[in-house]
A and B are shown apart, each in its own frame.
Chain A
Amino acid sequence: MEQLTAIAMENTRKVAGCIAAEFLDFDALVLAEQRRIYRVLLAMLRDPDAADTLTQECFLKAYEHRKRFRGECSVRTWLVRIAVNLARDHLKNRRWLFWRNLFSASDGSEGLLEQIAPHASPERSLLARERLAHVLAVVEGLSEQQRTVFVLRFMEEMSIEEVAVATSLRPATVKTHLYRALSAIKKHLKERKD
């Protein structure tokens, strides 16, 4: 029993040491994760300025609450969780719609559709852009939770467990949201084909 306790304490010390080491060089953590966090926020908000501001907020919150981090998940998943919560608050406050500015020429994110199939023929490129625009429109119509899990799973290629931690949902619930999102996209693609 004493041995088990000693092992558990040693493991706890090791985990605490790893966490401390990760936060010790906070600048390195920012350097490693800033692109990912910005991408998640941009995908959720479709507003480059808000994504930039909230990326900064995300790292500040992480630094502020670093003592609360207990190493139950990876630091990057924890950061994504903070980013998702910030994005949700932002959407609630501003009542902005997901990818509302998708077709707007002045939002600075026009590259989203411009860069689809850049080397294809104009006709194929146009078709690909149209198809993608419609898929994105379907994603836009999903509920907030479905959109969030869709972005994290398919855009960021996080595992179901990581998405569950980042969104504070159960893995089964994450799967259900993903199934529904995929079903909506499938239905839309089928309608377009018909």
Chain B
Amino acid sequence: MSAHLNEQQFGELILGAGNAAIAEHIEACDVCRAEAEDIRIAVSGCRESVRQSAERDEIFWLRQRLAIKQRRARHHFAPYVRWVATAAMVLVVSAVFLVTRTPPPVQLANTDAADEILLQEVQGDIDRDYPAALAPVVLIDEDRNAALSASAGPSSNSLTKKEQLQ
């Protein structure tokens, strides 16, 4: 391997997955060896600095654990709370609906009209010559009178309707 390591070979070397040929090249090539060493130092520096920057005192971790515990407890009861809240909402809406709902207004105009119709019917019954229930009898009687008149001749007097009813 005369040329320098390519991107993949270099990556394999840093990841510790280099083969014998790569190891051999690194032994022989000062440039690649120096570059690999530079990268290892840079990556190691990054790692250390990130780890140090993420260090916090014990109170921070304790507070975080407590927050997780509290939120977990809230989450545990959340479904029940949702059901209770929904039921309460339905009750409130129903109560408001029942309280605010007014009875239908009395239809005075319709009542007057019905009374008027009833009065007209009563007046009609008073004016009638005979009760409405006897109307079929009157018709039968009229037919009978007509038949009698026809058989007895024109001289025979037929009774008036009023007389017949009386």
Residues in chain A within 8 A of chain B (CB atoms):
26-27, 30-31, 34-35, 38-39, 42-43, 51-52, 55-56, 59-60, 63-64, 109, 111-113, 115-116, 128, 131-132, 135-136, 139, 151, 153-155, 157, 160, 175, 178-180, 182-183, 185-186, 189-190, 193
Contacts and interface: CB of A to CB of B under 8 A. Distances in A.
A34 B49 CA distance: 19
Contacts of B71: 56, 60
A99 to B, nearest CB: 10
- What 7 A-B pairs have minimum CB-CB distances, sorted nearest first? A179-B11, A39-B54, A112-B53, A115-B52, A135-B42, A183-B7, A111-B53
Chain B interface mostly: helix
A42 B35 contact: no
B64 A155 contact: no
Given A34-B64, A128-B45, A186-B10, A42 B15 contact: no
Contact of B11 (A63, A109, A178): A178
Contacts of B75: 60, 63-64
A39 B51 contact: yes
B148 interface: no
B161 interface: no
A186 B68 contact: no
A131 B11 contact: no
A112 B54 CA distance: 8
Interface of B: 7-8, 10-11, 14-15, 35, 38-39, 42-43, 45-56, 61, 64-65, 67-69, 71-72, 75
B15 A178 contact: yes
B42 A131 contact: yes
Given A175-B11, A182-B39, A183-B7, A31 B65 contact: yes
Contacts of B61: 34-35
Nearest to B5: A186
A179 B47 contact: no
A63 B41 CA distance: 39
A38 B50 CA distance: 11
Contacts of A26: 72
Contact of A116 (B8, B49, B67): B49
Given A35-B61, A60-B72, A189 B53 contact: no
